[in-house]
Amino acid sequence: DIVMTQSPDSLAVSLGERATINCKSSQSVLYSSNDKNYLAWYQQKPGQPPKLLIYWASTRESGVPDRFSGSGSGTDFTLTISSLQAEDVAVYYCQQYYSNTYTFGQGTKLEIK
């Protein structure tokens, strides 16, 4: 299975500041035939199911605020929140869908400093 490793495990950022979460895969999730990275980001708030934020590593899901952005390729990816809002407090997960045994990172808990 492809192992997804996120860093840090937790993060405290001041309101209005930038938050950056990293995700590393144990093998490349870039499919050369279509040049797409099979990597998604989800946000999960307490007591709620995960919510899709980003797919194909950098495509924002409809309705997701543009302060959320995804970048990276191959094995190294980043989720950036450009200006943290109070409602962004959540756990964030990356997921690879390159292989048919889909795997998630362990999660990064984002809090307000």
Partner 1 sequence: QVQLVQSGAEVKKPGASVKVSCKAPGYTFTNYYLHWVRQAPGQGLEWMGIINPSGGSRTYAQKFHGRVTMTSDTSTSTVYMELSSLRSADTAVYYCARGSGYIPATRYYFDYWGQGTLVTVSS
Q: Which is nearer to partner 1, 38 or 77 (CB)?
A: 38
Smallest gap from Cβ 106 to partner 1, in A, equals 5
Can you give the binding site for partner 1, defined by CB under 8 A? 38, 40, 42, 49-52, 55-56, 61, 93, 95, 97-107
What is the distance between the alpha carbons of residues 47 and 107, in angstroms, rounded to a whole number?
Answer: 15
Smallest gap from Cβ 76 to partner 1, in A, equals 19
According to DSSP, residue 86 is labeled G
CB 81 within 8 A of CB 19: yes
Residues in a beta bridge with 55: 59
Q: Which is nearer to partner 1, 86 or 100 (CB)?
A: 100
Q: What is the DSSP string of 89-108?
A: -EEEEEEE-SSSS-EE---E
Q: Which is nearer to partner 1, 1 or 83 (CB)?
A: 1
Strands 30-31 and 36-37: antiparallel
Smallest gap from Cβ 38 to partner 1, in A, equals 6
Q: Which is nearer to partner 1, 78 or 103 (CB)?
A: 103
